[in-house]
Structure 1
């Protein structure tokens, strides 16, 4: 499967994400942002990301949109682990808290998200962006609408 291929609609969200972890064939967005899904389990997902100068803003640090995209991707995958076959979702709200600057000296970042509430039509989740020593760089939460595919 190449990066532009659609998900297998015969699998649950968790089954699909476990396949992604085992045989990375991520999205064009993930490739562009140099991040990848490395773990998925019921109600949780983890991405790794490698920020660098190509993501810098005019202040010579990684643009805030990088952390926002990382959080949204992680939150979305955590939510997807709770969805059955034939169910889709979309972000309807994203809240990001920036704790400290991200630049190329940070190295590998990890972002782990957890579902807080899984309702019939809406899910909420939270996630943290940390370095390999557990130092917090950003955290956020999201609300996701569920719909049939």
Structure 2
């Protein structure tokens, strides 16, 4: 959104988040058997359209899936005082959770029906502290490589001014969900 002012860009980010929140179903989980039968993009589209339950973890941490395409996934959330550590900034686990989620879901978009994944390695580098006044942040994950048994992705956490708060990378083990 290079032609927008900061205020216009912030309004667009908040509107996009509200639009997806209005479509999401109540939190819950789908059966592993049902998920294994779906193409990954169909799975995410059905969550985004409210046809499948919204993952409960997003409610707990208060972030939503915002954009997804093959090899790319974006979550958005706004940290607040609930996410603070004793030192007066947002706990590093907030950023790690958003980055782990966006990178893992980016990998998931490129798997075949019947495949799943689990994180085996998560690396996060923090650049600056998140605070309650950081505003909405986006965690964007992109696939680096998907092989037969492992996959790699990288991610970045940034705000409406494109200030970088953290970067990460992950290795995920690809699982057969049907066996």
TM-score by length of 2: 0.79
Q: Describe the SS at the equivalent of 1:46.
A: strand
Cα displacement (A) at 1:44: 0.5
Q: Deviations over 1:22-55 (max 9, x none)?
A: 3284211110101010111000000001100011
Bigger fraction of residues in strand? 1
Residues of 2 paired with 1:71 and 1:99: CA distance?
14
Alignment of 1:50-61 (within 5 A): 50-61=78-89
Cα displacement (A) at 1:72: 0.5
Partner of 2:131: 103
Partner of 1:73: 101
Partner of 1:6: 30
Partner of 2:112: 84
Q: 1:18 aligns with which of 31, 36, 45?
A: 45
Name structure 1 gaps, 5 residues minimum: none
Residues of 2 paired with 1:20 and 1:112: CA distance?
18
What RMSD in Å do the two structures reach over aligned CA positions?
A: 1.3
Residues of 1 paired with 2:158 and 2:46: CA distance?
25
Matched, 1:130 2:150: no
Residues of 1 paired with 2:117 and 2:26: CA distance?
22
Partner of 1:118: 146
Residues of 2 paired with 1:120 and 1:51: CA distance?
36
Matched, 1:94 2:117: no
Name structure 2 gaps, 5 residues minimum: 1-24
- Rg larger for: 2
Partner of 2:55: 27
TM-score by length of 1: 0.95
Q: Describe the SS at the equivalent of 1:16.
A: helix
Do the aligned partners of 1:13 and 1:82 also contact (CA within 8 Å) in 2?
yes
Do the aligned partners of 1:21 and 1:39 also contact (CA within 8 Å) in 2?
no
